[in-house]
Amino acid sequence: MVKNTEINLSTVSRDLKKTPSDAVVIGVGQGTDGPVLLDNPLTAKSAEALAESLKSLGITGAADQIVRLPGLAETGAGILVLAGVGKVAAGAPPTGESLRRAAGSAVRQLAGLATVALAFPTATVDDVAAVAEGAALGAYAFTEFRSSTDGLKEPVRNAVIFTDVAETKDLNAALKRAGLVATAVNATRTLVNTPPSHLYPETFAEAAKDLSRGLPVKVTVWDEKRLEKEGFGGIMGVGKGSARQPRLVKVEYAPAKAARSIALVGKGITFDTGGISIKPALGMGDMKSDMAGAAVVLNTVLALAGLGLPVKATAWLCIAENMPGGGASRPADVLTMFGGKTVEVLNTDAEGRLVMADGIVAASREYPDAIIDVATLTGAQLIALGNRTAGIMGSDSVTSALKAAADRAGELVWPMPLPEELRPSLDSQVADIANIGERHGGMMTAAVFLREFVGKDKQGAQIPWAHIDIAGPSFNNGSPYGYTHKQGTGCTVRTLVAYVEDLLAAA
């Protein structure tokens, strides 16, 4: 069901002319005194002439700027591309994220060409990995539902990275990781971009099986009968208003010598009308993306399995379609969640936390070292942090590690508090808790609700937990930028993979 565009990644360390390509890309930085031509494989004479021409060519070095020039004989390519890397400090190399974005932007904008040589400054294996990852993320397209692709440009199929560290022993592993992680991000994007006419609970569960084929993972699916029988009242309460009944999908990667264990819980609302508390029509089409959290946790576990990391990782995909049908939950209904806690539903458009609560309880019963839930949970996240920065809340030990991992991965997250005064606003007159509370700071209030369902470890302490709200950064309604395309972004997959790597390194 999920068709991914893929790019071939390779490296070259010497004569670019011997490596045929359609275009050679070199970087230009935005210095304090104007554009700066970055280290490149051109001859000294060519590089000097080019550097002197930058201003007259209108080249600034700003991020996302690319300028095509006729190719030079010494590169063996018909096109020379100058790609902006953004601001650079005097004498300092570009950061890994600057390289990642510049490579992704160049490859994205050079769609239509088959092979592109990327000659950014890459002094380390990490630099090469950043360029490779950016290129793989930039080479994405979603055309599955077009009757014809006439007039559309095919993504770049081959990226050759010029580097002085091409012979380094760790390079192949770094390229493999870049390719696997980018594949996971792109698969997440494709699931998010798939229309709700085609992606609904049953087909999402099938997609999880399809994507898992060939990997050492076990997939278990709860249908509506099993969900009802076992008491998953949150998922059933949200999903019963739709003719397309809900699903819970467990994707488990459990290598024999796992050093740590982690549970990832994802919100999978394949379409969100708001239910009886129906949303305004304007912008409702974007609600096909309300399953992004489930797509993220699914593909994170598959990436960890592909990388063969020694961690037990389990994804819980809490999947439902929130529709205002005759069986839909009403405001004032009380649902009994998995585990027995009761919730008064005051607003059926606060449905994500209901399905997530069931998943968090189920995850807790396996006593993982940490639980991380990922959800497009609140509009309040956009108000607080905008369209590109996710909010993270929960146990300090997990949120601080997630922030460090996100910084390393090049994704934007920001820790937010969970003030104790928010909890009383969730008190219910008839049930254990209500599904909405204090409107101001609603992102944090939603996280306080979820915290109520995090279980205890075998010693009786609450399992370390974090909640990531990706309502804004999961879906790009603006113009493409860097390696980010329009619509589904696949955000947070790279952060979670980096988090697990850091967890294992610390262990």
Q: Decide: 171 and 127 in contact? Cβ < 8 Å.
A: no
The pair of three-digit structure tokens given for residue 10, joined into one six-digit string? 């390779």
267 is in an annotated binding site: yes
The whole-angstrom distance between residue 281's C-alpha and the CA centroid of its chain comes to 27
Secondary structure string (H, E, C) spanning 290-349: HHHHHHHHHHHHHHHHHHCCCEEEEEEEEEEEECCCCCCCCCCCEEECCCCCEEECCCCC
Neighbouring residues of 93: CB distance < 8 A, sequence distance ≥ 6? 121, 123, 127
351 is in an annotated binding site: yes
C-alpha–C-alpha distance, residues 293 and 120, integer Å: 33
C-alpha–C-alpha distance, residues 266 and 282, integer Å: 26
Q: At what angle are helices 201-212 and 292-307 packed, to 10 degrees?
A: 10
The pair of three-digit structure tokens given for residue 319, joined into one six-digit string? 């999947």
Q: Within a 10 A sphere around the Cβ of 13, how many other Cβ atoms?
A: 13
Eight-class DSSP state of 456: B
Q: Decide: 353 and 337 in contact? Cβ < 8 Å.
A: no
155, β-bridge pairs: none
Residue 66: closest CA among 23, 32, 95: 23
Residue 306: closest CA among 217, 409, 207, 185: 217
Backbone angles phi, psi at 291, to 5 degrees: -105, 10
DSSP string, 43-72: -HHHHHHHHHHTTTTT----TT-EEEEEPP
The whole-angstrom distance between residue 54's C-alpha and the CA centroid of its chain comes to 36
The pair of three-digit structure tokens given for residue 71, joined into one six-digit string? 């190719």
The pair of three-digit structure tokens given for residue 407, joined into one six-digit string? 């910084």
Catalytic residue, chosen from 87, 279, 341, 403, is 279
C-alpha–C-alpha distance, residues 488 and 495, integer Å: 16
The pair of three-digit structure tokens given for residue 23, joined into one six-digit string? 């275009």
C-alpha–C-alpha distance, residues 258 and 243, integer Å: 41
C-alpha–C-alpha distance, residues 338 and 358, integer Å: 5
Residue 436: closest CA among 323, 341, 349: 349
373 is in an annotated binding site: no
| Single-letter amino acid code for the residue at 372 | I
**Does the annotation count 279 as an active-site position?**
yes
C-alpha–C-alpha distance, residues 319 and 475, integer Å: 18
Query: Is 331 exposed, middle or buried, given 0-12, 13-18 or 19+ CB atoms closer than 10 A?
Result: middle
**Does the annotation count 18 as an active-site position?**
no
Catalytic residue, chosen from 101, 240, 250, 353, is 353
Binding site feature residues for Mn(2+): 267, 272, 290, 349, 351
Q: Provide the annotated active-site residues.
A: 279, 353
